[in-house]
Amino acid sequence: MSDTAAIFAARDPHVNFAYLDERTKRMIRRTLLKAVCIPGHQVPFGSREMPLPYGWGTGGIQVTAAILGPTDTLKVIDQGSDDTVNAVNIRHFFQRTAGVAVTTDTRAADIIQTRHRIPETPLREGQILVYQVPAPEPLQRLEPRRSETRTLHGLAEYGLMHVKLYEDIARYGHIATTYDYPVRVNERYVMSPSPIPKFDNPKMHRSAALQLFGAGREKRIYAVPPYTAVASLAFEDYPFSIQRWASACALCGATDSFLDEWVTDDRGTRMFVCSDSHYCATRQARATAPEPSHGSK
């Protein structure tokens, strides 16, 4: 960690601050302002080629590059973890191009770029959560034509989505969508929350943080301002519910976090551990912290 910190301590003087050229940043910024003014509405933008392929967070990176300032502290997570390839690379990218401070501590971060999770630690006012979004159109699998989905959003005609959820119930006895579970924002737009587990959907509702969504390949940006109603779609007799686990996290004992299933050998032994690496590490550190000395045997 200290080696990489030394490598990226200084910003690369050969690229503009935060990589993107100023005119691109202005275009993204104007898009973001309109996105915040129309919560949940997908605003098209001129997505640029980035030095990594589509699907690796090009939308999120462009949003982060447009909002990031030299005094911000950045955290990047990939499915909850600070230590996976995608998260490490994006963090290094902004250390190198913007010289910003980085952290794994959810509370210490000003901007958190995320792929497919919302941190377990509640977000606070002033923080910005930037989502990487692969498929911004919640109606895409029901109606592939953009011209049609735009009309459906314009008229708030979301019957199709309810039919899809109903068909789940008819076929499986429950709504079978477990991630990218559609939400309705401020009682108006149906929105894709990005492929976060439905476990995280309730955290979006009236969150104190500003939530920004960037889809690079699909060239769409959308937003949810702080304290905005975000309701997961459901029926009165089939209410929305989140995943539950029979076991606690094998490493920190948490019973309130989203757990990943790890296969630990070739005989099917498995364990469940927190997907949020910082949350888990903080709990483990607290559990093993030395007790005050006077009580020791």
Partner 1 sequence: MNAATGGTPLDLNAVGPGFSDPPLASQAVFRAALNAFARPGRIQRVASDAPHPSGAAPAAAALLLALLDPDCTLWLAPRLAHGSAAAWLRFHTGCRIVSELREAQFLWSDADQMPPFEHLPAGSEFEPETAATCLVQVEALGDTPGWRLQGPGIERTQPLTVRGLDATFLAQWRANHAAFPRGIDLLLCAGECVAGLPRTTCIEG
What amino acid positions are annotated as catalytic residues? Answer: 40, 249, 252, 274, 280
Q: Distance between CA atoms of 276 and 243, rounded to whole angstroms?
A: 15
Residue 7's identity, in one-letter code, is: I
Say whether residue 106 binds partner 1 (CB under 8 A): no
Given a contact cutoff of 8 angstroms between Cβ atoms, the answer to whether 177 and 165 are in contact is: yes
E strands, the chain, in order: 43-44, 73-78, 101-102, 111-115, 128-132, 183-185, 189-191, 210-215, 220-224, 230-232, 259-263, 270-274
Say whether residue 16 binds partner 1 (CB under 8 A): yes
Q: How far apart are the first and last CA of the chain?
A: 36
3 state DSSP class of 98: helix
From 25-33, 131-139, 168-176, 266-274, give the range in contact with partner 1 by CB under 8 A: 25-33
Nearer to partner 1 (CB atom), residue 88 or residue 229: 229
Q: Pick from 6, 13, 14, 22 the residue near partner 1 by CB under 8 A.
A: 22
**Total length of the chain:** 297
From 54-62, 223-231, 272-280, 285-293, give the range in contact with partner 1 by CB under 8 A: 223-231
Q: Pick from 7, 26, 122, 166 the residue near partner 1 by CB under 8 A.
A: 26
Say whether residue 150 binds partner 1 (CB under 8 A): yes
Compute the least distance from the CB of residue 234 to partner 1, in Å. 22
Say whether residue 184 binds partner 1 (CB under 8 A): no
Say whether residue 155 binds partner 1 (CB under 8 A): yes
Q: Distance between CA atoms of 174 and 290, rounded to whole angstroms?
A: 47
Say whether residue 220 binds partner 1 (CB under 8 A): no
Q: Distance between CA atoms of 181 and 205, rounded to whole angstroms?
A: 14
Nearer to partner 1 (CB atom), residue 34 or residue 107: 34
Site residues, partner 1 (CB under 8 A): 16-18, 22-23, 25-27, 29-39, 41, 43-44, 66-70, 150-151, 153-155, 186, 188-189, 206, 208, 210, 224-229
